[in-house]
């Protein structure tokens, strides 16, 4: 996962920063307020092979994390177990040799 985050940060830094600022500024409405920024960051990140592989291999835990965020918009800390499950999955992802 660290590699994927580094790749995303390297190639999509502006998108990540804009999205992060939006989420922080809109704790109760970020899901709708930041949707276009999330899509922009996702499109950017999707172009790298390791990110594509993580999205494929870890789609289920990521979807559960996103659902948790939707259900806990006022208290995203309730989703720490979901994010940890996604991170554990992503850590195991490797590109084929």
Domain ranges of the chain: 2-92
- For the CA atoms of 74, 40, 58, 26, the dihedral, rounded to the nearest 10 degrees, stands at -10
On the question of pLDDT at 2 being above 60, the answer is: no
**Closest listed residue to residue 23, CA positions, set 32, 10, 12, 34:** 34
User: Do 95 and 50 meet the contact criterion of CB atoms below 8 Å apart?
Assistant: yes
Give tens-digit pLDDT for 3-40: 556 667 777 889 989 999 999 999 899 999 999 998 99
**How sure is the predictor about 42, in pLDDT bands with cuts at 50, 70 and 90?**
confident
Reported pTM:
0.55
């Amino acid at each position: 996962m660290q590699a994927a985050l580094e790749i995303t940060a390297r190639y999509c830094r502006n998108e990540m920063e804009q999205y992060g600022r939006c989420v922080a500024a809109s704790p109760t409405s970020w899901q709708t307020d930041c949707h276009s920024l999330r899509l922009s960051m996702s499109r950017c990140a999707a172009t790298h092979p390791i990110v594509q592989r993580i999205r494929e291999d870890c789609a289920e835990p990521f979807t559960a994390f996103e659902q948790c965020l939707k259900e806990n918009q006022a208290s995203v800390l309730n989703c720490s177990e979901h994010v940890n499950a996604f991170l554990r999955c992503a850590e195991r992802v490797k590109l084929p040799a």
